[in-house]
Amino acid sequence: MQIMTIKADPKAKALIFDLDGTLSDSLPVHVATWNKVGEKLGFTFDPKIVYEITGRPTIEFAQRIADDFNLDTDPQEIVRMKQSIFHNSMEFLKPVKEIIEIVKENFGKLPMAVGTGASRKSAELQLKTLGIINFFDAIVTAGDVTRHKPEPETFLKCAQLMKVKPEDCQVFEDGELGLEAARKAGMIVTDVRPFINYGFWE
Question: Catalytic residue positions?
Answer: 18
Number of alpha carbons in the 13 Å side-chain half-sphere of residue 134: 1
Peptide bond before residue 150 is cis, with ω within 30 degrees of 0: yes
Within 10 angstroms of residue 88's Cβ, the number of other Cβ atoms is: 10
Residues in contact with 24: Cβ distance below 8 Å, sequence separation at least 6, in sequence order: 93, 94, 95, 96, 126, 130
Nearest CA to 200 out of 5, 74, 14, 24 is that of: 24
Angle of helix 120-130 relative to helix 75-87, nearest 10 degrees, comes to: 10
Strand pairing of 188-191 and 169-173? parallel
Residue 24's H or E segment, with its range, is: strand 24-25
Nearest to 175 by CA among 106, 115, 120: 115
